[in-house]
Structure 1
Amino acid sequence: MTFVFFLVLLFCAVPIALVLALTALWYIVTSDNTVLFSSYPQQLFGAIESYGLLAIPLFMLAGELMNEGGLTSRLINLARILVGGFRGGLAYINLVANMMMAAIMGSAASQIAIMSRAMVPAMEKEGYSGSYAAAITAAGGLLSPIIPPSMLFVLFGVLAQIPIAEMFIAGIVPGLLMSGLFFIVIAVIGLVQQYPAGQWPGRRQMKSYLLMGIPAGLIPMVIIGGILTGLATPTESAALASLAALLIGKYVYKDLKFSHLPEILKRTALNSGMVIMLISAAGVFGWVIVYEQIPQAAAAWIAQQTTDPFVFMLMVVGVLILVGMVIDGIAALILVVPILLPIAQQQFDISAYQFGVVVCLTLVMGLLTPPVGAGLFIGSSMTGIPPMKIFRSLLPFLLATLVTLILLSAFPQLSLMLL
């Protein structure tokens, strides 16, 4: 009966945070368990009593400040120096700029929105099809869950009770692997479609791009360098990145005005508030799941299907692709981790870091796949290109992502080699 109540709320388009909180409350009331009822408020607030969760609003703030302060356009020019001269140069520039933004923002949806406005009109002007330009930009959003920092990694670290800094490190090699596969896809499409040869910036222009791009490029170094060297926690790195974005945007590029700050802080508060509310509600829901011993029942069923860790990981990928198609990635992560992570660790001896990288990347694919495909609609609203046209152009990149997931499932060392 509780499961039916959950589905009714879900398909009535009730916000997912309320679905989780109300389903847990329904179960407690119908079970007539007074102990559970009295513990409900404690579990609701206990789920967000984690220092690591502070990184989420701080990374959101850093992204907002970067966009408002003109740092994004300088990162794009910096990418021109690195890859601008190859055939289909703007496509490579788009991807490299997305990699840089992924190392700052940690949010696929925000990254797609910002980069769509910045890159798609420029690519269309140089002869690229609008759907292909939007597809590359959307594909770049797939890098955000695995190139640190990542909000999904922060959340997974909290749910799995593992160090968030080490979770970030586990995503570096997978992120570079997937970026390499995306470069191959762009190269093949560029040759087939005969996209225009790129142009390297002139020496004077290159010097200008480099000088103006270095301050913006320092922010990913502050974030990742602080975490890798142990000088700062992910939360402290996020705070430093926000401060750096504010100072650079205001005093170096002079695009950021203090009058912009109230609106920036308002957007950050609203967006992070929704995420924190979802985490809180999911804490109660996960508590009920554990109380009902659902992970143990799921483990018993899966153990009957396979004893091979690789097959188990492929099963997880298949299920989560379907889940991600209809449920937001953060909500889905909160739902599946309490159930599947104990099975992965206890039944198959799979590292939490490998499992987290695969799960987070798989769920973000749902952002770009119908029927929901929020990332497709974000890209469409920013560019005016129909979502299904973007999706068709995106298929080679989704195939490359699937290849990455298979490799990560088969070879744990890809996620663990830097730990």
Structure 2
Amino acid sequence: MTPVVFIIGLLAAIPVAIVLALTAIWYIWESGNTVLFQSFAQKMFAGIENYGLLAIPLFMLTGEMMNEGGMTRRLINAARVFVGGFRGGLAYINLLANMFMAAIIGSATAQIAVMARAMVPEMEREGYDKGFAAATTAAGGLLAPVIPPSMMFVIYGVLAQIPIGDMFLAGILPGLLLAVCFAAVIALIGFWRGFPKGSWFTRREAILALLQCLPAALIPVAIIGGILFGVATPTESAAVASLIAFFIGWLVYRELKPAALFEMFRRTAVNASVIIFMIATANVFGWVIIYEALPQKLAALITSLTSDPFLFLLIVNVILLVVGMLIDGIAAVILITPILLPIAMSNYDISPYQFGVVMCLNLVLGLLTPPVGVGLYICSSMSGVKPGQILRSLWPFLLAVAVVLVLLSRYPILSTAFHS
């Protein structure tokens, strides 16, 4: 009966956190092991009693301050310096700006919302098809869960009990590979459709754009540099980044007003609490997984099909693709990690870093695919382009992600290079 409660809860569109808690309560009552009710609250609290989880609200706050402080606009302008003159230059600017934003925000939905407002009208003005403009922006949002810092990597690192900083490092090469594949897609579509030729900045304009962007560039440098050189933990880097974002927006660009802080803190608290509560309820849901021995049963099933790690990851990719279409990416990471990660590590000797990168990239595809497709609908809402129109132009980017997923599954070095 417990699986029925779980499935009905999801199909009824009840928030995933509530579904997890209700399923655990039902399981305890059905099993007769009611003594577990006495430690229910402690188990939930234990799920969030982790220092690394502090990085989630801090990275969210950094993104809020960047948007309010005018840093997003300056990063987009700086991207023009490097790729603005190519044919289809504005599409490349969109991609490069998304890379910059991914190294700061760490949330695909937030990034898609910000970039859709900024880039789609601009691309439309220069003669690009609205559907392609929105699709490029939505696809660029897929870089956020891979290029560090990543909200999904923080949650996965906590669940997998591996250093979050090392998980961030694992996403560097896959993130760059994904960006290169997206650039190749833009180049091929541009050649086929005959995109308008961009214009290069004059030397004076380029220097001015780079100088204006320099303070904002300190934020990704502080985040990634601090982790890469072992100066700070991801949580400390997130705290430093939010502080830098505040002072740059307030004192350098003079667009961030201290009076706006309370509203930013409120939005950050509300958004972060949803994720934190989900992690807490996932910890009590762990009782169901442990007592039902789900990893062991699933391991027996999968190992009977194949003993090849690559084929195992391909099977997992298909499973995750279906799950990602139905459940929010972060919720899916919380649900699936305790079940599939032990199988990957124990039965197939797969690195937790490789598995984490493959899983997070795969699940985030669900943001852009119906029926859930939160990112797709956010992009549609912010750009005024119908979801169907976006999907028609999005499929080459989704195909590129599929190619990257196969490469990441086949070659572990792509996600473990910094750990060798």
Short-chain TM bin: over 0.9
Looking at structure 2, the residues matched to 99 and 306 of structure 1 have their Cα atoms a distance apart, in angstroms, of 37
Once residues 327 and 203 of structure 1 are traced to their aligned partners in structure 2, the CA distance between those partners, rounded to angstroms, is 48
Q: Could you tell me which residue of structure 2 aligns to residue 73 of structure 1?
A: 73
Provide the secondary structure at the position in 2 that maps to 1:305: coil
Does 2:46 correspond to 1:46?
Answer: yes
Separation of aligned partners in 2, 1:237 and 1:211: 23
2:144 corresponds to: 144
- What is the CA–CA distance in structure 2 between the aligned matches of 1:314 and 1:36, rounded to whole Å? 37
Distance 1:277 1:418 in 2: 32
Amino acid at match of 2:374: A
2-structure distance, mates of 1:153, 1:28: 31
Amino acid at match of 2:110: S
**What residue is the counterpart of 2:163 in the other structure?**
163
Counterpart contact for 1:52–1:235, Cα < 8 Å: yes
Say which SS state the counterpart of residue 47 (structure 1) adopts: helix
Provide the secondary structure at the position in 2 that maps to 1:418.
Answer: helix
Do the aligned residues in 2 keep the contact of 1:69 with 1:248 (CA within 8 Å)? Answer: yes
Partner of 1:13 in structure 2? 13
**Alpha-carbon distance in 2 for matches of 1:174, 1:14:** 34
Q: CA deviation at 1:36?
A: 2.2
d(CA) in 2 for partners of 1:322, 1:10: 14
Q: CA deviation at 1:108?
A: 0.2
Aligned ranges 1:54-93 → 2 under 5 Å: 54-93=54-93
Preserved CA contact (<8 Å) 1:299 1:343: yes
How many positions carry a matched residue from both structures?
419
TM-score, normalised on structure 2?
0.99
SS at match of 1:148: coil
Deviation at 1:202, TM superposition (A): 1.1
Structure 1 unmatched runs, 5+: none
Q: Distance in 2 between matches of 1:13 and 1:401?
A: 28
Match for residue 252 of structure 2? 252
1:142 aligns to what SS in structure 2?
helix
The separation in 1 between residues aligned to 2:94 and 2:123, in whole angstroms, is 9
Task: Identify the residue that residue 283 of structure 2 maps to in structure 1.
Answer: 283
Q: Which shifted more, 207-216 or 66-75?
A: 207-216
Q: Aligned runs of 1:260-279 on 2, under 5 Å?
A: 260-279=260-279
> For 1:96, what is the secondary structure of its paired residue?
helix
8 Å CA contact retained: 1:290, 1:338? no
Kindly state the Cα deviation for residue 287 of structure 1 after the two structures are TM-superposed: 2.9
Give the aligned partner of residue 36 of structure 1: 36
Aligned counterpart, 1:102 = 102
> For the residues of structure 2 that align with 1:32 and 1:291, how far apart are their CA atoms?
12
Q: Map 1:388-403 onto structure 2 (within 5 A).
A: 388-403=388-403
- Mind listing any 5+ residue stretches in structure 2 that lack a counterpart? none
> Any conservation in 2 of the 1:69–1:256 contact (CA below 8 Å)?
yes
- C-alpha distance in 2 between matches for 1:359 and 1:228: 23
Deviations 1:169-207 (A, max 9, x none): 000000001111111001111111111111111122112
Secondary structure in 1 aligned to 2:239? Answer: helix
Q: After superposition, where does 1:193-212 map in structure 2 within 5 Å? A: 193-212=193-212
Distance 1:36 1:211 in 2: 59
1:312 aligned partner:
312
Given that 1:153 and 1:167 are in contact with CA atoms closer than 8 Å, whether structure 2 keeps it comes out as yes
1:38 positional shift = 2.0
TM-superposed deviation, 1:291: 2.3
Q: What amino acid maps onto 1:116 in structure 2? A: A
Structure 2: distance between partners of 1:34 and 1:210: 63
**Alpha-carbon distance in structure 2 between the residues aligned to 1:131 and 1:255:** 32
Question: In structure 1, what is the Cα distance between the partners aligned to 2:391 and 2:262?
Answer: 36
* Distance (whole Å) between structure 1 residues aligned to residue 314 and residue 286 of structure 2: 24
CA-to-aligned-CA distance 1:363-410 (integer Å, 9 cap, x gap):
000000111111110000001110111111110000000000000000
Partner residue, 1:213: 213
Runs of 4+ in 1 over 6 A off after TM superposition: none
2:48 partner SS: coil
Residue 406 of structure 2 corresponds to which residue in structure 1?
406
- How far is the alpha carbon of 1:7 from its aligned partner? 1.3
